Amino acid sequence: MDLDGACTHINALGAVTRPKKLECEDCIKIGADWVHLRTCQTCGGTRCCDSSPNRHASRHAKSSGHPVVSSAEPGERWLYCYPDDNAAEY
């Protein structure tokens, strides 16, 4: 992938992984609610955004070292890299 203005983590992606389910896999386990969803581009897991109470996507990125997520929201086509604080539309 070669997107203008994107960091090396985003440009290293071959293709965008879409969510398997539109739910936060960690919130489901604990019975919590979420606001928006993000899909990890390394492992394919879908977790909640930083506007959600548990912020599972950023927690996952920090604990796993998986740098890039995509929006899992229908109609949204963007990627975000946590270590580089970089976003790109695709």
Given the DSSP bridges, would you call strands 37-40 and 46-48 parallel, antiparallel or unpaired? Answer: antiparallel
pLDDT band of residue 80 (cuts 50, 70, 90) is: very high
Count the neighbouring beta carbons within 10 Å of the beta carbon of residue 25.
16
What are 8-64's pLDDT values in tens digits?
999 999 999 999 999 999 999 999 999 999 999 999 999 999 999 999 999 999 999
d(CA 68, CA 72): 13
CATH superfamily of 1-42+59-85: Zinc/RING finger domain, C3HC4 (zinc finger) (3.30.40.10)
Sign, CA torsion 36/56/41/9 = positive
| Segments making up each domain of the chain, as ranges | 1-42+59-85
In this prediction, residue 4 has a pLDDT band, given cuts at 50, 70 and 90, of confident
Distance CA 8, CA 22 (A): 28
CA–CA distance, 79 with 72 (Å, rounded to integer): 10
